[in-house]
Amino acid sequence: MSRITVSTLQKMKAAGEKISSITAYDASFAHVFDEAGMHVMLVGDSLGMVLQGHSDTLPVSIDDIAYHTQCVRRGAAKTLLIADMPFMSYATKEQTFSNAAKLMQAGANMVKVEGGDWLFETIQGLVERSVPVCGHLGLTPQSVNVFGGFKVQGRDSEKAQEMIEHAKQLELAGIQLLVLECIPTELAKAITEAVNIPVIGIGAGNVTDGQILVMHDALGISFGKTPKFSRNFLAETGDVHKAVALYMSEVSAGNFPSDEHSFN
């Protein structure tokens, strides 16, 4: 597999080919995913929960993300690598540009920010400074205290329409990829069709251009409550390499996520 770029993902969307993505935090697992041909890896602030043992992502620092981005980059030569901008690391323009530079210098190909059209100028500023940006709508974990917990978003028509408009505005601002988390399948379909950029889903049905899972969920090694949208591919195969291959083939075929892993 040649090196994956945003142009590769755009061509996949145009061709109707599904994009496989997964979170990664270290060189060893990154190498396994890279050798399997994983298109996208995300150094997510989910590390605060699955690695550090916190109840949410809020304690994660920019230095945490930069460190793990360096580790993953060493193990993954070909994948498109996205790094999360953690909580309050993009509250001001000065913070945003400095922190994004740190992640790009650590080996990221793109940074991810959570939020709607209020990020318009922030995204524009990053793009103008040659930093590719991935947006994130729906259940944005950094807003867990605003939502009152980890809850499905966009279930009423007003909120759904608002999210569609946010997606359009984020694309206009310059994002090149969009993550939709924990939203009804019908809404995910509407957003995917409303924008020209690739859309990656997690708990958003099988109608998006691709899927992402937290690696610990995909391998059944998370502690605590298992998300409805996850599937234990390791339990089905008994081998990490086979589990990764099965995950990617099920995404490619459109078999994952099924209705039981989606929200209506």
For residues 82 and 85, give the distance between their C-alpha atoms in angstroms, rounded to a whole number: 10
Catalytic residues: 181
Gap between the Cα atoms of 32 and 247, Å rounded: 13
Asked if residue 48 lies in contact with residue 56, where contact means CB atoms within 8 angstroms, the answer is: yes
**Residue written as token pair 């400074």:** 129
Task: Report the C-alpha gap between 4 and 204 in whole angstroms.
Answer: 24
- Using a 10 angstrom Cβ sphere, with 0-12 exposed, 13-18 middle and 19 or more buried, the burial of residue 120 is middle
- Helix H or strand E encompassing 62: helix 62-75
